[in-house]
Chain A
Amino acid sequence: MPDNWGFVAAAYGLTALVLGLYWRRLVRREKELDHAGEARARTARDAATTVAERSRQPSRSGHPRSEPASRPPLP
Chain B
Amino acid sequence: MVRTLGWLSAAALALGLVMAFGVAPREVSQGNVQRIMYVHPPLAWVAYLAFGVVAAASIAYLVRRAPGADRLAHASAEVGVLFTGLAIATGSIWGKPTWGTWWTWDARLTSVAILFVMYLGYLLLRGTVEDRERAARYCAVLGIVAALDMPLVHFSVYWWRTLHQPPSLMKPGGFTGSAAILWPLLVNLAAFTVLYAYLVAKRVRLLRAEAEALA
A-side residues, CB < 8 A to B, are 1-5, 7-8, 10-12, 14-15, 18-19, 22-23, 26, 29-30, 33, 36-37, 40
Contacts and interface: CB of A to CB of B under 8 A. Distances in A.
Interface string B63-91: 00000000000000000001001100110
B209 A14 contact: no
B30 A1 contact: yes
Given A22-B82, A33-B210, A14 B31 contact: no
A3 B31 contact: yes
Give the bracket for the number of chain B residues in contact with chain A: 20 to 34
Given A14-B90, A15-B39, A19-B195, 12 more contacts: A1-B29, A1-B31, A4-B32, A7-B33, A7-B93, A7-B96, A11-B36, A11-B39, A12-B36, A18-B82, A18-B85, A36-B213
Listed residue (A10, A19, A29, A36) with the most chain B CB atoms within 10 angstroms of its CB? A19
B137 interface: no
Contacts of A1: 29-31, 33, 97
Contacts of B94: 7, 11
A15 B209 contact: no
Interface of B: 17, 26, 29-33, 35-36, 39-40, 43, 82, 85-86, 89-90, 93-94, 96-97, 195, 199, 202-203, 205-206, 209-210, 213
Given A3-B31, A22-B82, A10 B209 contact: no
Contacts of B36: 7-8, 11-12
Contacts of A4: 31-33, 97
Contacts of A22: 82, 199
Listed residue (B39, B40, B43) with the most chain A CB atoms within 10 angstroms of its CB? B39
B39 A23 contact: no
A30 B3 CA distance: 13
A12 B39 contact: yes
